[in-house]
Amino acid sequence: MSRYWSEKVRNLSPYTPGEQPKIEGLVKLNTNENPYGPSPRALKAMQEQATSGLCLYPDPECLELKEAIGRYYDQPASRVFVGNGSDEVLAHAFQALLQQRRPILCPDISYSFYPVYCRLYDVDCIQIPLGDNFEIQLGKYARENGGILFANPNAPTGRCLELGQIDSLLRGNRNSVVIVDEAYIDFGGESAVALVDDYDNLLVVQTLSKSRALAGLRVGFALGREELVEGLERVKNSFNSYPLDKFAIAGGAASMADHNYFEETCEKIVATRERLSTGLGVRGFEVLPSLANFVFARHRHHDAVALSQALRQKNILVRHFLQPRIDQYLRISVGTDDQCRMLLQALDTIVG
């Protein structure tokens, strides 16, 4: 511990990302990456940026990308904010919208970056317990708050709220911002962007890392009314005027425009997810209903840590969280059919 650290840094417990080991032949099902790769149109658009024009700064407004996102969601570009991955977008939202006198509300089991940001930005937070079946109980959020934040589908559970439930929450919570983190929405859920016209306190955060297979590019965005987006822009322009490079802007815009490739790969992942859930059930797992590109499952008779370690010995990575209530569950990303078949075959030898 450095004697030059500030008191805040001394007290931080940083977020721990999923492993990215360099092991040949690894079946990597631990970080919810899309196994099918980016749109060919996105790759072509990025290749075209590799010119002498790289000596110039990118567009600080990222207008090409904002317009592409706006066209996809039938929203004006003025309602779109973009950043270096959805994590940065969320960080700016914490600074711009969630530093209030009253505590924010979020689920007790969710994306583990939320409590990290609360500590980093001195945001008071009340964590609302999930229900017995790991569902977000929005009725418990009907209380005074400085903002509400939740992931939908939730991570790491994969459970998804219906749009009508979110609409009801917004009708009863007019005086603070509601942020819906939709990193996995394209795998079966219905986006809350449909409610942006009706609620000036709704911010929807998404990423191109999952359904668009651009995790290595780091592109995130938010959609909300102009007043919310202006707050995010004020923070961004006080921090980094150029969060996205030319490759990210061009590749992201092209990806948003390639509807056929997007729908085709999402449908593949959804179909594989259902086969994987069935296969795990046959092998003695209890699998939560998921509308994400992962499943959350526990075995009835085998310890989760032991299973994770046994799979690792067979060059298969899954994610385990050492957290109360979920420490017997494994989060398993949906890979290709072949990758999931290898996982199930390995489990046959482990659990019998």
Tokens of 13: 């417990």
Q: Which tens digits make up the pLDDT trace of 325-336?
A: 999 999 999 999
- The more confident residue out of 87 and 20 is 87
> Rounded CA gap, 46 and 44, in Å?
5
Is 22's pLDDT higher than 80? Answer: no
CA–CA separation, 235 and 205 (whole Å): 16
Task: Read off the pLDDT of each residue in 16-25 and give the average, rounded to a whole number.
Answer: 78
Beta strands in 118-214 (DSSP E): 125-128, 148-151, 178-181, 202-207
Which pLDDT band holds residue 352 (cuts at 50, 70, 90)?
confident
Length of the chain: 352
Residues 93-117 have a mean pLDDT of 96
Q: Are 168 and 137 in contact (CB under 8 A)?
A: no
Contact between residue 318 and residue 29 where contact means Cβ atoms under 8 Å apart:
yes
Rounded average pLDDT over 262-290: 98
Beta partners for 148? 105, 178
Beta bridge partners of 295: 332
CA dist list (Å): 134 to 26, 137, 303: 31, 9, 19
The pLDDT of 152-169, averaged and rounded, is 98
In 191-261, where do the E strands start and end? Answer: 202-207, 220-224
β-partners of residue 299 are 285
pLDDT one-digit tens code per residue, 286-326: 999 999 999 999 999 999 999 999 999 999 999 999 999 99
Q: How confident is the model at residue 242, as a pLDDT? A: 96
Question: Do 203 and 223 meet the contact criterion of CB atoms below 8 Å apart?
Answer: yes
**Percent of the chain at pLDDT above 70?**
100
Kindly tell me if the per-residue pLDDT of 18 is higher than 80.
no
Residues 49-59: tens digit of each pLDDT: 999 999 999 99
Whether residue 145 has pLDDT greater than 90: yes
Ramachandran bin of 188, using left for φ above 0, alpha for ψ from -120 to 50, beta for the remaining angles: left
Q: Are the CB atoms for 38 and 214 separated by under 8 Å? A: yes
φ, ψ (nearest 5 deg) of residue 282: -60, -30
Confidence of residue 144 (pLDDT cuts 50, 70, 90): very high
Mean pLDDT value across the chain: 96
What is 169-183 written as a DSSP string?
HHHT--SS-EEEE-T
Domains of the chain as residue ranges with CATH: 7-37+260-351 (3.90.1150.10), 40-258 (3.40.640.10)
Integer Cα distance of 258 and 149 in angstroms: 30
pTM of the predicted structure, to 2 decimals: 0.96
